[in-house]
Structure 1
């Protein structure tokens, strides 16, 4: 079977024509015996790599030790081979011999000398020993360059396979696919095979077809996951290699600018650390004060009444306490792969970006409330008065008459209406005294928004709406109990007339023989219950509409809180600035395809199947495909949709159907959506000075990484 080889070639090596021989470093990735992926990370000049002779094994071991664990398990970083420039007239010099000399001397050479006759340059010292070990065990690659001007790109030279030592066999003919890629860099771009809607924990069927299991048992043709991981690790491998080999990037030293930037970074870090420490001290004192009264009934009652506020305050306090810890860079192994480093950085910066945006929104809302306090108080008072008088009182009076032409039971409508009006009047009288404190509540809400962000006062508004409409929810609960009992009684009496009985153990209807007395009593109860049902239904519908409107307003605020917490602000900002940092799959652009016949430089190779009577060796055509690796990129909608799905994962698809059934049957329905909020963490206790140093060092480390 004809062998196939894919060479993943860095774009910077194709932008200029090499002037001398180079050593190639990277990874060999092989899944099948006839297929090989060669990921070239970088090339090192053969003349300038004299420092490698004494410590090549140590350098390669150090690079492998710093790579991702998955990459270490599947492939090892090694010296791939060597590359050299092609000479004119289709001739290649190999150890001082030209094509004719090479053809004459090739029959008498064996072992490593024969390998040299195929074009392997003899290296110096330990490098030659390492090459011999490589060719004797797994793989060794010999490349030449071919000049191109493809598709108006800056691709001036493309590598051509001279020969490959493939599992102790010398292969000079194979199908070659050269894939030019741009080396990934942190903060610029990287490659990823994962799509935006990819889920590692997808639902699988209980019973799979047999061909699915057989397909999974087959060995894959290639390991693209390892290849992409190696490409994303090429920059880290090159940096480690240059550090060991003595290379240093030249930087323009401008002392004044560098000193000014360093001073500004330290000033910003100290300012942010001081502000965070002030919050830290305030939170510690508040936490200690609340611990003293945690066993009292006042604390328990307030925790139940203001449950949403307590949860959001706890989340905000944890974010303020833990954001410098999240900025600490503890996972050094993940920095080897650009993709892993990007994910770690996004996770690291997600907390403080969410905290910053929330506080900015809270400052905007808080300052607006402070500047328009009187108008806000006036609007809230007018709205509460209109809601009580125009809707609740007028609605109850309307139901006590002839609503929409329906003839209701006057006695029952009068009783229900008077109970409702008295409850509304008592609650309105109580809130008359509370209304004088409304302006102070607005001030506290504004200060809370400025200090803790928008989500905490929004949660407080939800709790205050629940407290302010307690009379409405109580009336709705009482009417729903009456309505539900009437429906269940009518259903039970209807089953009596049909000779059926509900079996609660088997959850089904069974036949049952009722007596004559039971039928008579059932008939006497069924008629008044059925005639009173329209009156109860209209009161239930009225209070259900009012209570549902209040619940929807609270749910709307709850959705706003969940959206604020779930929105990936740092991802959106980076996506607008650098879209290439968010890849979603790869694709190949074919820019060249050619077949090399016997007039190519590879005609110097001797085919083992050639006949001695032939004047020249017989050769097969060699196909070379040249393409460029590209990435697809996520848009903003694709990027934030998984976060919103996770935030609202608790809202089941049957929530709407369950709510409608509960409203029709008079059962209790949930007044909240149950959206997922960020998890809280244990309370943090460290000294103030240590916390200040932690904040400063975290900000400095973050600024220096950029």
Structure 2
């Protein structure tokens, strides 16, 4: 079988003038006995790296040890081979390198070039010292590749030079003729772009049936033609491998341009770090004092009753306290292994910055809402008072009086309607009397709510509003609870009497209806009970429907605020901002843009160029048959698809509302129709709380400052 080799080549090596000799470093990823992927991470000039020969094996071992664990298991970072200029008759085969450039190298002459070409045409050219030993080690173990440069001027793709295969040492076999696929890729860098095979809805696509066909198992057992996961991981690790290699090589970077601007930016960053650390420490002191005060009275019944009455507020306060306490801890960069791959570094960075970004956005929204409440406190207080008065007098009282008469022409039981109506009116009157005393302090509650929003963000006052709505409408929920008990018990009795007439009995152990022989007395008593209960059911149903509508409207209002709180917590603000600025940081799948292919029947080295405008591969890259297009050599460029903002945000919202489903709504509707208790909350998932953190104030200030300064180092 003809061997296939894919060379993943950095585009930067082909966009600039190449050196005469380049040593290639990267990974060999064998897929099968006839398929090989060669991932070139970077190239090093042989002359400039001659002094590292004594430490080459040590540097390669150290660089490989700093790579991702999954990559170390699949492939080893090594010296791949060399890429040289192909010379003949003392002339450079490719344009751009003259004899003067060769003489300036200090070790080459025209006669030496001719001799070198003779050695090159006969096989591998001998290297010096430990490089030759490393080459022999690579050849004896697995692989070694020899490449040449070929001129290929395509400015539209940013490619001026391409690697051309001379021969490969493939498991002890010298291979000079095989199908070659050269894939140019842009080297991934942190904060710019990387590659990923994951799709945003991969979890949905991965769901399969419990019983799969036999051909699916057989297909999964077959060895894949290429290991794209390892290849993409190696490409994402190319930059880290180059940095580790240069650090071990003693490579030093030049000083940055503009030292004055750099010093000014550093000074301003330190000022920002100290300011944010001081502000966070003030919050930290206040939170620690409040926590100590609450622990002092946690055993009293007042604390327990307050925790139940303000359960939503308490949960959001705990979340906010954990965010304030732990954001500098999360901002610390303690995962050194994540720097081995750009993909891992991006994931860690997004996770690291998600907490403080959510905290900042929540506080900013709280500042806007809090300032608006402070500026319009009196108008808001007047509107709420008028709304409470209108809903009490115009809606509830008039509604109860209407139900006590002949509502919509229905003739109800006068006595039962009078009893239920009087109970409702008395409870509404009690609430109105209490509201007169509470309403005088309501303006102070609005101001406190505004200050709370300014200091702690929007979620805590929103949760407090939910709890206050529940307390302010306690009379409605109490009346609905009493009417629902009467309504549900009446339905249960009617259902049991109906089963009595049918000769059936409910078996609670087996959860089914069984036949049962009732006596005549039981039938007579059942008939006497069934008739009045059935005639009283419309009266009870009318009152139940009225208070159910009121209670459901209140519950929907609270659920709407709960949805707002969950959306504020679940929205990935840092991802949205980065997606708007740099969409390439969020890849989702890869595709290949074919730019040229080599035909064996043609005379020119690159006979078939593919027009970019006529490529079907850009429209539907998954439909292109790569094997049909590859005859001997193929040149393509690696591209990425990118997530849209909706595709990026939707998984976070799905996770936040994972507890809400169709069955939840069906259960709620059934509970409303049958008079059962219905959950008053939506059940959305909130961020988890963490153990309480208590360290000295000075140490916490230093932790906040060092965390912000660490971000400046990451930006560098």
TM-score range, shorter chain: over 0.9
Deviation at 1:701, TM superposition (A): 0.6
Structure 2 residue 238 is matched with structure 1 residue 270: no
Q: Does the aligned pair in 1 maintain the 2:358–2:569 contact within 8 Å?
A: yes
The residue aligned with 1:44 is: 44
Would you say 1:485 and 2:494 are equivalent positions?
no
1:234-249 to structure 2, matched below 5 A, reads 234-249=238-253
Please name the residue that 1:412 is paired with: 416
1:674 aligns with 2:683: yes
1:149 aligned counterpart, secondary structure: strand
- For residues 276-314 of structure 1, the C-alpha deviation after alignment (integer angstroms, 9 at most, x for no partner) is 011111111111111110101111110010000011001
Please, what TM-score do these two structures have when normalized by structure 1?
A: 0.93
TM-score, L = length of structure 2: 0.91
Question: How far 1:477 sits from its partner (Å)?
Answer: 0.6
**Partner of residue 646, structure 1:** 655
The answer for the alignment partner of 1:705 in structure 2 is 714
Match of 1:294 among 298, 308, 314: 298
Q: Which moves more between the two structures, 496-505 or 389-398? A: 496-505
Q: Is the 8 A contact 2:191 2:346 kept in 1?
A: yes
- The secondary structure found in structure 1 opposite 2:32 is coil
Contact 1:94 1:121 in 2 (8 A): no
Partners of 1:583 and 1:101 in 2: how far apart? 47
Structure 1 position 632 matched with structure 2 position 632: no
What CA distance in whole angstroms lies between the structure 2 residues aligned with 1:601 and 1:120? 23
Counterpart position of 2:367: 363
Deviation at 1:88, TM superposition (A): 5.6
- Distance in 2 between residues matched to 1:118 and 1:248, nearest whole Å: 39
Query: Which residues of structure 1 form unaligned runs of 5+?
Result: 103-115, 603-620
User: Residue 613 of structure 1 aligns with which residue?
Assistant: none
Q: Deviation at 1:78? A: 0.3
SS at match of 1:152: helix
1:534 and 2:543 aligned? no
Corresponding residue number in structure 1 for 2:466: 462
Q: Which runs of 5+ in 2 are unaligned?
A: 94-109, 607-629
Q: Does 1:63 align with 2:63?
A: yes
* Preserved CA contact (<8 Å) 2:7 2:180: yes
Q: Distance in 1 between matches of 2:447 and 2:426?
A: 32
Q: 1:684 aligns with which of 684, 693, 701?
A: 693
Match for residue 664 of structure 1?
Answer: 673
Distance 1:15 1:101 in 2: 28
1:122-155 alpha-carbon deviations (Å, 9 max, x no partner): 1110010000111111000000111113373221
Q: Which of 417, 437, 444 in structure 2 is aligned with 1:433? A: 437
Q: Distance in 2 between matches of 1:357 and 1:152?
A: 42
Contact 1:362 1:450 in 2 (8 A): yes
1:159 pairs with one of 139, 163, 184: 163
Deviation at 1:500, TM superposition (A): 1.2
1:542-557 alignment to 2 at 5 Å? Answer: 542-557=546-561
The answer (yes or no) to whether the contact 1:23–1:45 under 8 Å persists in 2 is yes
Candidates 577, 598, 605, aligned match of 1:573? 577
State whether residues 484 and 675 of structure 2, in contact with CA within 8 Å, keep that contact through their aligned partners in structure 1: yes
Partner Cα separation in structure 1 for residue 582 and residue 640 of structure 2: 13
Query: What is residue 132 of structure 1 aligned with on the other side?
Result: 136
In the TM superposition, 1:207-226 aligns within 5 A as 207-226=211-230
Asked whether the 8 Å contact 1:95–1:122 carries over to 2, the reply is: no
Contact 2:87 2:114 in 1 (8 A): no
2-structure distance, mates of 1:251, 1:231 = 28
Q: d(CA) in 1 for partners of 2:223 and 2:252?
A: 43
Which is further off, 131-140 or 85-94?
Answer: 85-94
Instruction: Give, in angstroms, the shift of residue 242 of structure 1.
Output: 1.8
Instruction: Give the secondary structure class of the aligned counterpart of 1:30.
Output: strand
Task: State which of 483, 498, 501 in structure 2 corresponds to 1:497.
Answer: 501
Q: Distance in 2 between matches of 1:306 and 1:554?
A: 13
- Residue 511 of structure 2 is aligned to residue 507 of structure 1: yes
Deviations 1:523-556 (A, max 9, x none): 1111111111111111000000000000000000
Partner deviation per Cα, 1:461-515 (whole Å, 9 max, x = no partner):
0000000011100100111111111111111111111111111111111111111
Query: How many residues are aligned here?
Result: 675
| RMSD value, Cα | 2.1
Q: Using a 3 Å threshold, how does the CA distance of structure 1 residues 202 and 148 change in structure 2: closer, same or farther? A: closer
Tell me how far 1:594 sits from its aligned partner. 0.8
- Give 1:696's aligned residue: 705
Q: Which residue of 2 aligns with 1:24?
A: 24
Alignment partner, residue 76 of structure 2: 76
Deviations 1:420-479 (A, max 9, x none): 001111121122111111011111111111111000000000000000011100100111
5 Å matches for 1:436-447? 436-447=440-451
Structure-2 separation of matches of 1:658 and 1:222: 50
Residue of structure 2 aligned with 1:145, choices 149, 162, 166: 149
* In 2: Cα distance, 1:551 partner to 1:172 partner: 76
Q: Distance in 1 between matches of 2:563 and 2:376?
A: 25
Return the offset for 1:51: 2.0
**Residue aligning to 1:54:** 54
Q: Distance between the aligned counterparts of 1:39 and 1:71, measured in 2?
A: 12
Q: Give the whole-Å Cα distance in 2 for the aligned partners of 1:123 and 1:665.
A: 88
Indicate whether 1:12 and 2:12 are aligned. yes
Structure 1 range deviating more: 665-674 or 257-266: 257-266
